[in-house]
């Protein structure tokens, strides 16, 4: 498995970035987050302790259906379905169709890495950072 790199950006920032990439004004950098959350709070909700435990249960137990996952975790199937659909939207799980149309959850990553800038990069900060990086090489 691999690591999913996620970032935090406002809806306006994500929209502007997506438009710039679509228009060819900006390129997606190597190592840049693939998934974006609008706040640290939304990140914390999706990857709460309970949801991380759910991901572990799926990875370790390899349930063949939501019914099996419900038995494995003791959680209601309807709650699992709702939670897994949200996680699927962030790319954390894949919900495949198994035998007889049963939904089979698969964990896609074994780690999540949060890229959380404290300050907004400016051109001069970026230039200084690049200069320091070049000086070290």
pLDDT number for residue 136: 56
pTM, two decimals, is 0.77
pLDDT digits (tens, 9 = 90+) for 21-69: 999 998 988 888 989 999 999 999 999 999 999 999 999 999 999 999 9
Domain containing 104 — which CATH number?
Answer: 1.10.10.10
Total domain count, the chain? 1
Structure tokens at 36: 């974006």
CB 88 within 8 A of CB 95: yes
In terms of Cα–Cα distance, which of 93, 103, 97, 114 is closest to 42? 114
pLDDT number for residue 117: 78
Q: Which domain holds residue 34?
A: 2-136
């Amino acid at each position: 498995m691999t690591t999913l790199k996620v970032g935090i950006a406002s809806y306006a920032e994500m929209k502007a970035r997506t438009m710039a990439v679509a228009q060819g004004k900006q390129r997606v950098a190597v190592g840049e987050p693939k998934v974006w959350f609008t706040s640290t709070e939304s990140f914390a909700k999706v990857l709460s302790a309970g949801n991380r435990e759910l991901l572990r249960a799926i990875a370790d137990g390899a349930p063949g259906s939501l019914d099996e996952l419900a038995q494995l975790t003791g959680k209601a199937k309807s709650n699992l379905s709702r939670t897994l659909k949200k996680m699927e939207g962030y790319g954390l799980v894949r919900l495949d169709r198994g035998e007889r149309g049963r939904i089979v959850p698969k964990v896609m990553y074994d780690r999540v890495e949060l890229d959380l800038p404290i300050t907004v990069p400016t051109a001069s900060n970026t230039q200084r950072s690049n200069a320091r990086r070049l000086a070290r090489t």
